[in-house]
Amino acid sequence: EAGVAQSPRYKIIEKRQSVAFWCNPISGHATLYWYQQILGQGPKLLIQFQNNGVVDDSQLPKDRFSAERLKGVDSTLKIQPAKLEDSAVYLCASSLEYSGVIDTQYFGPGTRLTVL
């Protein structure tokens, strides 16, 4: 079974530029998560989708971050414009069902973003 795919793996941009990350979850997984992981910290949940609907985006800085999951499969996370403090690894995860507190999340390898 293929795992969660993410691209690109690395991205370097100047501040105020835009950037987009792509995620392809495990086939059949209904729930998709985007996390931000700053160096030395644990992952921080940004947004959670159930199929193509947003379950929670309370931690997403909506003035510059946006995400979508068209057709309930692939997802894109965008930052526009980027700031220096956005430098981090952006992780995508998926889980089989919207079973709440006990579902196992499967993570992709992440995209390392550096903002200069």
Partner 1 sequence: DAKTTQPNSMESNEEEPVHLPCNHSTISGTDYIHWYRQLPSQGPEYVIHGLTSNVNNRMASLAIAEDRKSSTLILHRATLRDAAVYYCMLRTGANNLFFGTGTRLTVIP
User: Which residues here bind partner 1, judged by CB under 8 A?
Assistant: 4, 40-45, 48, 55-56, 91, 93, 98-110
Of 84, 76, 70, nearest to 22 by C-alpha is 76
Which residues face 77 on adjacent strands? 21, 67
Measured from the CB atom, the residue of 17 and 52 that comes closer to partner 1 is 52
| Backbone region of residue 16 per phi and psi (left: phi > 0; alpha: psi in -120 to 50; beta: other values) | left
Cβ of residue 109: shortest distance to partner 1, in angstroms?
6
DSSP helix/strand/coil, 59: coil
Measured from the CB atom, the residue of 81 and 109 that comes closer to partner 1 is 109
Tokens representing 9 are 């793996």
Cβ of residue 81: shortest distance to partner 1, in angstroms?
26
Cβ of residue 83: shortest distance to partner 1, in angstroms?
22
Measured from the CB atom, the residue of 74 and 103 that comes closer to partner 1 is 103
